[in-house]
Structure 1
C-alpha cells in the first residue's frame, strides 16, 4: 500500500501534518480515544490502484502464455502468487512447508478409433460413440445393467458380481442438470466400476448437453484428476448416444456386445493450488475460516484456446477470466493481513478451473483446513463485465451474506445485481460449486453484468481479452469492494447459512452437524 502524502499512521490513528503540529501545544486532558479504527482507515480504503494494475498486467501478460493448466505459464503464475503471499507474511497451511498444494493431474489424448457392436448395429467413434478412458481393448461378452451405477444400493451393484464384466449404466444422475454435475457423476461411476473390477463401463447418454458438443469435446485432449491410482489400469469407459432410448436392449440381461477401442493414452501432469492463511484475531472465531478463492488458470495459446484467433495474437491472456479475480484475492490478502479480521482467512488461488474445476474439486477432497471449520467461501470469477456501476453476485440470495456484500459494494459506489443470466446456470459452473456440494455457503462475486450480451461475448475466452482493454478504475473499486465484503463476513458474530430449501442446504446441515 502506497502512503498518502504528508500522512502518518500511528497506532491505528491517521494524523495529518496539521494535527501533528497541534499535538506539540499544551492541551487540556481529554477522554481516552477508542482504538477501534473508523471505516475509512481500513487498508482496503487506501488500496493502491497502481498495484492492482501491475498485478493484472503481469498475470495477463503474453509471457505467461495464457496460463493453461499443465503448462509453464500456469506454473509461473502459481509461483508469482506464492511469492506475493510470502512477501505479505501469510502463514503456510497446516502440514505444508510452502504455499503450493501440489496436484498430480492426468493429460489424456483423444482415442483414434473405437466401435461397439450391439446386435446388428455398429456404433462408431465420432458418431454414436465417445471414449472417456481406458487402454487399447477388445472385449466380447454379456452386459450387466446396474442403474445409475453410483451406489451399492438396490438400483446399483447390490448382489451383482461384476468382476471382469461389461457394465452398463444410465447417464447422468437423478440430480445432475448442468455439465459439471454430469461429468462429476460420470467420474464417480468409473471409479466405482474400477473398484469392483469391471472390465468396461458403457454409459447410456441422453442428457441435456447436445450430443454434438459431447462428441466434439471428447475428440480432443483433456486434463483431469485421475479416477484410478497411478498403479492401476484405468477401466475402459465409453458413452453412447442413447437419445430416444434407442439402445434400451443394453439394459437387458444376456445382451452380448463387442467393444473395440484404441484407448486414450495418458501422462502425468504436475500442477498446484496456492494457499496462504491469515490468522484471525478473535480467540474463538479464529478457529473458523473464510476462504477467498479465485482460479488463476486460463485456456492457453492458439488451438488450445478453443476460439478463433489471428496469427498476430494467438495468446488467450485471460485478463477478465480470471486475472481480474486473482488480483482481487491478492489485494484482499494484503489488506486483511495489515488489519486482520476476527475469523481466519484462507486465501486460495485455484488451478484447473477452465478444464473442469479441477483445483477446487481437488481441494474439496483434500482440504488444508477442516471443511467443518470452513464457514464460507467468497469466490470471485467472471466472463467479463458490461456494467461498471455494479458487481454481480451469483448465489447472493442463497448463501446468507447478502447484507455484508451489499454494504461493501455501496461503500465504493457500486450496486449489487443478484443472480445474473439465470438461464446460464452459473452457480454450478465456477469453483464455488466444489465447496457448495460439501455444504459450505459459496457465492461467486463477479464483475458487473446482467446478461450474456455482445459486450461479454466479445472478450469471453477470446484472444483480445488483454489488460489494455480493462477499465482499471473499475477493477480497483471491485477489488476494494471484494476485500471489504470478505472482512465484514469474517467479522460476523454468527456464521452465514444456506437459505431454507436450497439444494445445498442438506449438505450444509450434514457438514456442520445442524
Structure 2
C-alpha cells in the first residue's frame, strides 16, 4: 500500500469488526422470529446494526478518498474486503493463491488538441469532436466507410485491405440503447479496426447521450482495460457529433480528410476484484455456484467525481454507491459461511464499475469458476433510497428467483418493488449486465426506490453521500434480506431460468446447453 496511515486504519478496523459480537436485533425481529421459527434459527437474524455500520463507516470514510479505481484508497478497500474473507474462512478460488483477481488497467488523460479538416470544414476538440483513444497522430487521405464497423462481414471490411487507411463507422450499434452498450460497441469497433491495421477510426456519433455530456466525460481522465497488444499505442479513435446527419459526407467514397491530435497520454495502473468461495454442502449441487456481487469502487476526489463539490468537502465517499452493497455481500459471506447452503457461493467484490463496469467485464472474460457452472448472480448496487419499507429489484420479473427474493424481504419486514425507474434502463447499467450477457440470470438487488426523484439525486454521485446520512436500521434489514435471498436461491432444487422471450434467454440456453 502507498499510504502507511491507511494500512494502519485497515488493520485496526479489521480487528475491531472481528471482535464485534453477534446481536439478536430489534423487537420487530423478535416478532418476525415468532412468525417464522425455522427461518429465525438462521444466522441472518444475527446480523447486527453495529457491525453493518462499522463496515460502512470504514469503506465510505474520508481516508479512502472516494475509492477510485487505480488509486490507493481503492487498494485499501480491496485489502479490507480480503481480510474479512480471510477472517470468515472463505476459500481462495481455484488456481488462486489469494483473494485478489488482479487486473491490468490504464489511466488515460484527456487530449489537449485535435482537429479534423474535410474540405472547408474544420472540426475542433471540445466542439464537434472528442478523442476516445490513441497517441499523437497526424494522418491524411481518403476515408473508408465500414458501416457499424463491428464485424468482418460488413461491406466496408468485406474483401478489403484497410491497412493504413482512415476508417469511418456509424455510431453505436443496431441494438445499443444505453450508455454501457454504446461504449462497449465503440470499444469493439476500435479493437477490430486495430486488428486490421487502420491508421485512425472516426465514429459518427448521433446516440442518446447528449453531446454536452459526451464532451464533459472525455474532458476528464478515464480508466480502461487496454485494447490491443500490451505496450502498443492504441489506434487514434474520435467521435464526431453527427447530430442531424450533418457530416454525412464522411460516408462518401473519395472524401479526403486531415486529422491531427495530441493523443491521450496513458499510464499503467492495477486494480483487483476480490473473490472468496463458500463451498456448498450438497454432494451434487456444490459444483454449481451462485455469485454474490457488488462493486466496491467509487468516483474519487474533486474533479474526478464529475459533479460539483465544495472546497470544504471534495471527497465523494460513496456510502450509498456502493459501500452499502459491499457491506451486504460481506454480511452474506458471514452468515452463509456460518451455515452453508447446498450450492457453493462465490462472493465477488468488483472494482471499476464507475469507470465502465470494468471489473465485471474482466471477470466475465476471465471467470474464476466456470460460467456454465454459475447458475445465478445476485448483484447489489444502487444510487440510494427514497423508501425504507422496500427493496427494489431490477430484473425481478426476468431472472427466475422472484419467490425467493420476495420471501427473504418479507421475512425481514420489507416489501419488494420490481423494475424501478424503467426509463433509466438500469438493468444494463450495473455489473449484472456483464453476467447476463454471458447467459447467467442476474438481477440487481437495490435499496428501496421507485423513481429517480429529488431524494435520490441529492446523494447520487455527490460529495454529501456520507455514512452519517444513512438509516442504519434500514441498512441492517437490507443486509439480512439480501443474505437470506442468497441462501434461498442457493438451496432451491431447480436452477433459476430467464423469462421466456427475454433478450438474454438465448445466451442462457447457449451457456447451459439447453
1:219 aligns with 2:230: no
Aligned residue for 1:150?
Answer: 150
How many Å separate the matches in 2 of 1:38 and 1:244?
62
For structure 1, the 5+ residue unaligned runs are: 6-36
Aligned residue for 2:102?
Answer: 102
Aligned residue for 2:296?
Answer: 296
Aligned residue for 1:271?
Answer: 271
Given that residues 353 and 430 in structure 2 are in contact (C-alpha distance below 8 angstroms), is that contact kept between their aligned partners in structure 1?
yes
Given that residues 22 and 47 in structure 2 are in contact (C-alpha distance below 8 angstroms), is that contact kept between their aligned partners in structure 1?
no
SS at match of 1:149: coil
SS at match of 1:53: helix
Aligned residue for 2:5?
Answer: none
How many Å separate the matches in 2 of 1:323 and 1:300?
13
How many Å separate the matches in 1 of 2:443 and 2:129?
37
Aligned residue for 2:178?
Answer: 178
Given that residues 148 and 156 in structure 1 are in contact (C-alpha distance below 8 angstroms), is that contact kept between their aligned partners in structure 2?
no
1:495 aligns with 2:495: yes
How many Å separate the matches in 1 of 2:314 and 2:167?
43
**1:303 positional shift:** 1.7
**1:4 positional shift:** 6.0
How many Å separate the matches in 1 of 2:156 and 2:371?
29
How many Å separate the matches in 1 of 2:139 and 2:303?
35
Aligned residue for 1:328?
Answer: 328
Question: 1:61-460 maps to which residues of 2 (within 5 A)?
Answer: 61-155=61-155, 157-460=157-460
For structure 2, the 5+ residue unaligned runs are: 1-19, 25-36
* Larger-gyration structure (1/2): 1
How many Å separate the matches in 2 of 1:464 and 1:248?
44
**1:146 positional shift:** 1.1
How many Å separate the matches in 2 of 1:140 and 1:389?
61
Given that residues 150 and 156 in structure 1 are in contact (C-alpha distance below 8 angstroms), is that contact kept between their aligned partners in structure 2?
no
Aligned residue for 1:482?
Answer: 482
The one-character-per-residue Cα deviations of 1:118-149 (angstroms, maximum 9, x if unpaired) are 12211111111111111111101111111111
The one-character-per-residue Cα deviations of 1:28-77 (angstroms, maximum 9, x if unpaired) are xxxxxxxxx93211110121221111111111111111111111111000
Given that residues 427 and 443 in structure 2 are in contact (C-alpha distance below 8 angstroms), is that contact kept between their aligned partners in structure 1?
yes
Given that residues 109 and 220 in structure 2 are in contact (C-alpha distance below 8 angstroms), is that contact kept between their aligned partners in structure 1?
yes
In structure 2, the CA distance between the partners of 1:188 and 1:3, relative to structure 1 (3 Å rule), is closer
How many Å separate the matches in 1 of 2:57 and 2:192?
44
How many Å separate the matches in 1 of 2:309 and 2:131?
29
Q: CA RMSD in A?
A: 1.2
Given that residues 144 and 156 in structure 2 are in contact (C-alpha distance below 8 angstroms), is that contact kept between their aligned partners in structure 1?
no
The one-character-per-residue Cα deviations of 1:437-478 (angstroms, maximum 9, x if unpaired) are 111111000000101111111111111111111111100000
In structure 2, the CA distance between the partners of 1:45 and 1:138, relative to structure 1 (3 Å rule), is same
Given that residues 23 and 48 in structure 2 are in contact (C-alpha distance below 8 angstroms), is that contact kept between their aligned partners in structure 1?
no
Aligned residue for 1:17?
Answer: none
Given that residues 148 and 155 in structure 1 are in contact (C-alpha distance below 8 angstroms), is that contact kept between their aligned partners in structure 2?
no
How many Å separate the matches in 1 of 2:55 and 2:328?
10
The one-character-per-residue Cα deviations of 1:158-185 (angstroms, maximum 9, x if unpaired) are 1111111111111000100000000000
Question: 1:14-53 maps to which residues of 2 (within 5 A)?
Answer: 38-53=38-53
SS at match of 1:355: coil
How many Å separate the matches in 1 of 2:229 and 2:492?
42
**1:156 positional shift:** 5.1
SS at match of 1:45: helix
* TM-score, length-scaled by structure 2: 0.92
How many Å separate the matches in 1 of 2:138 and 2:60?
46
SS at match of 2:354: helix
SS at match of 2:160: coil
